[in-house]
Amino acid sequence: MENVEIIENASDADIAKWLENRLTRTLSSRDGPVTITVPGGSTPFPIIARLLEADLDWSRLVVWPGDDRIVPEDHEASNTGKLRALFEPAGAEVVTLTIMEQVPHFDLAWLGMGADGHIASLFPNTYPQLEEARRIIRLTPDPLPPEAPFDRISLTLPALLDSDAIAFVIRGEDKRAVLDEAVGGKNDLPVARLLSGAKQPVVCFT
């Protein structure tokens, strides 16, 4: 896939700097809000902490969780609650995912990926489709991850693809092998389905 760039051995600081540069260019290119999606799990939060050291107009940033566990926002498993704790003191807006929410075009879709090839909460058993009419769905992973055994709410493939650029942060050799197969069109996992529909630049940090 010619639109996919893989950046090897990127540190949290490297990724935060890339995000800062991307946001700086977008913020200076126009007035008004800049809207991004951000993944859950443990990987993004140290990167976000570094990113927030940057001197940006955070009041113009709107942050959407790519997915969340259906738990109260003060629950330790809530992605939204963690994102609020980081971004809101800087002045950014964090959106709560609900089925009725109107999903915008994203300036950047930042994603993670599980070892099973899932992205956001689009697990293999959910059979995500590029033609999905909905932009947000509720679903139940099967099997439920033991570290987070909750129903989910997630942006869909069309919602994530409605973006100017996509960035993945993928840690570990097992995940890298899944990514390489997806880029090569050698599996049909959710990540491969997303990549097959991506026309915009895709940067994968490993």
Segment 106-124, tens digit of pLDDT = 999 999 999 999 999 999 9
Closest among 189, 1, 198, 10 to 108, alpha carbons compared: 198
In this predicted structure, the answer to whether residue 143 has a pLDDT above a threshold of 90 is no
- Both tokens of 155, joined, read 């942006």
Catalogue the E-assigned strands of 21-104: 34-38, 61-65, 67-69, 93-94
Q: Beta strand 136-139 with 152-155: parallel, antiparallel or unpaired?
A: antiparallel
Beta bridge partners of 96: none
- The predicted pLDDT at position 33 comes to 97
- The predicted pLDDT at position 142 comes to 84
Mean residue pLDDT of the chain comes to: 95
Q: Are 153 and 138 in contact (CB under 8 A)?
A: yes
- Both tokens of 109, joined, read 């879709």
The rounded distance, in Å, linking the Cα atoms of 195 and 4 is 9
**b or e along 140-157 (b: 16 or more beta carbons within 10 Å of the residue's beta carbon)?**
ebeeebeebebebbbbbb
pLDDT in tens, 24-82: 999 999 999 999 999 988 899 999 999 999 999 999 999 999 999 999 999 999 999 99
- The predicted pLDDT at position 147 comes to 83
pLDDT band at 178; cut points 50, 70, 90: very high
Closest among 191, 11, 182 to 113, alpha carbons compared: 191
The CATH number given to whatever domain includes residue 37 is 3.40.50.1360
Q: Are 136 and 98 in contact (CB under 8 A)?
A: yes
- The predicted pLDDT at position 90 comes to 97
Beta strands across the sheet bearing 108-111: 4-7, 202-205, 166-169, 108-111, 34-38, 61-65, 93-94
Domain that holds residue 104: 4-205
Number of compact structural domains in the chain = 1
